Amino acid sequence: MDLGPRRVAPSALGRSEALDGHGPSRGRGGGVLGFSLRSRAGGVPPVPGAPRPAPALGAGLNEFDVIRKLSGLLPPAPPEVLVPIGDDCAVLEIGGRKWAAASDMLVSGRHFEGWATPVDVGYKAVAVNVSDVAAMGGTPRFVLVSGAVPDPETALGVFEGVAEACGEFGVYPIGGDTTGAEALTVDVAILGELEADPVLRSGARPGDLLAVTGELGASAAGLLAFEDGVDGFGRLKSRHLRPQPRVEVGRAAARLGVGAMIDLSDGLASDVRHVCEKSGVGCSLDLDLLPVSDDTRKLATALGRDPLTLAATGGEDYELLISAPERVLEILAGSVPVPVTVVGEMRGSGAEFRRGGQVVGDLSGWDHFV
């Protein structure tokens, strides 16, 4: 295990400024709330006494508010549903076996631009779903792949990438759907098998340590390189286009009975809050402990970005965040070929990030509606 200067400061520290589990705006666009404020400021002044228009349903909600609200609309789950909406995968019991099920899609302009070929998009669409199964401790088995594509060549390119990823991760494609559209969208649904009990987001306990696999910030750095047209940095670009989900670590973690696990898609700063919220606990993370590679640091710095902030908020790492007692993490780190780095600890309440011993606020990851 990468123990570094590993023990984070004890929890006699100030509380986080973003305890609601979502953090502040990342300043991308105005969001739905921004639009309503703008239109009011520039529009016709309200007529005294006239009925006010009802606010649009969902106005001002962020991505996770939407998911919480739609979960509230669910009828009672049938008995086969062991874990409902709200974790990396749902868990179903079918034929005496436990299955993890999830879906994630990639949308042109939102998840990729022209730097990603259709083959890259197909590959990544499978990989990010495999990562959700890994986060439950499962073995990915089957995918359904649906493409909304501008032309037949794109459809076939996507499927080439799907086939490549399926071969690499031991997954079999059992169907999907193909339709025409202006811009490319690829949606993958996955089924994984669980040999051990699934690892949920809700099992973290105060006193557990928090560890991440692999490295953080490389994918976000690769994205910056594409966006800014930077030559070179092929490893970072590849980390962005071809994430390597941590299936073996996830399975080992489940066998060891770690407390909680989540895959890092939106960024550590956001994803750790999902674990806190679901577990009813808090956490303290030390940014100085984040595993950030030299090339990530070099590129981020060259582009005027802070490498540690990028690593905490950039997203699409597809590493695992694991909460477990220290001894369990030591055993895990000794049994997998990927670095497992302690970055903080769980505590009673509050989500706090520290750096150089000081509390830093305003850290949050990706949110599709902010």
Ligand X SMILES: Nc1ncnc2c1ncn2[C@@H]1O[C@H](COP(=O)(O)OP(=O)(O)O)[C@@H](O)[C@H]1O
Ligand Y SMILES: Cc1ncc(C[n+]2csc(CCOP(=O)(O)OP(=O)(O)O)c2C)c(N)n1
Interface with ligand X by CB under 6 A: which residues? 67, 70, 85-88, 102, 104, 132, 265
C-alpha span between 309 and 342 (Å, rounded): 17
The one segment of 47-55, 71-79, 109-117, 190-198 that binds ligand Y by CB under 6 A:
109-117
C-alpha span between 155 and 142 (Å, rounded): 20
CB of 334 to ligand Y, least distance (A): 29
Q: Which does 187 bind (CB under 5 to 8 A by kind): ligand Y, ligand X, Mg ion, none?
A: none
Query: Would you say 328 and 336 are in contact if contact means Cβ atoms under 8 Å apart?
Result: no
368 a known binding residue?
no
C-alpha span between 191 and 189 (Å, rounded): 7
Q: Which does 88 bind (CB under 5 to 8 A by kind): Mg ion, ligand X, ligand Y, none?
A: ligand X
151 a known binding residue?
no
Q: Which is nearer to ligand Y, 295 or 316 (CB)?
A: 316
The one segment of 25-33, 84-92, 103-111, 150-158 that binds Mg ion by CB under 5 A:
103-111
Q: Which is nearer to ligand X, 88 or 187 (CB)?
A: 88
- Output the CA torsion sign for 272, 314, 214, 356: negative
φ/ψ (deg, to 5) at 190: -130, 150
CB of 10 to ligand Y, least distance (A): 32
Using rule CB under 5 A, residue 104 touches Mg ion: yes
Residue with tokens 């031991």: 170
C-alpha span between 186 and 104 (Å, rounded): 9
Using rule CB under 6 A, residue 265 touches ligand Y: yes
Using rule CB under 6 A, residue 316 touches ligand Y: yes
Using rule CB under 5 A, residue 367 touches Mg ion: no
Q: Which does 86 bind (CB under 5 to 8 A by kind): ligand X, Mg ion, ligand Y, none?
A: ligand X
How distant is the alpha carbon of residue 110 from its chain centre?
A: 15
Query: Amino acid identity of 149?
Result: V
CB of 201 to ligand Y, least distance (A): 13
Instruction: Return the residue of 87, 120, 208, 266 that touches ligand Y, per CB under 6 A.
Output: 266
Query: Would you say 308 and 360 are in contact if contact means Cβ atoms under 8 Å apart?
Result: no
Cβ of 229: how many Cβ atoms within 10 Å?
7
Query: Would you say 310 and 300 are in contact if contact means Cβ atoms under 8 Å apart?
Result: yes
Using rule CB under 6 A, residue 87 touches ligand Y: no
H/E stretch holding 342 reads strand 340-347
Residue with tokens 């016709």: 44
Instruction: Return the residue of 98, 111, 201, 246 that touches ligand Y, per CB under 6 A.
Output: 111
CB of 297 to ligand Y, least distance (A): 19
CB of 357 to ligand Y, least distance (A): 29
DSSP line for 107-170: EBTTTB-TTS-HHHHHHHHHHHHHHHHHTTT-EEEEEEEEEEESSHHHHHHHHHHHHHHHHHHT
Contact footprint for ligand Y (CB under 6 A):
104, 110-113, 128, 223, 265-266, 315-316, 366, 368
Contact footprint for Mg ion (CB under 5 A):
104
Binding-site annotation, residues? 88, 103-104, 111, 132, 176-177, 201, 263, 265-266, 316, 366
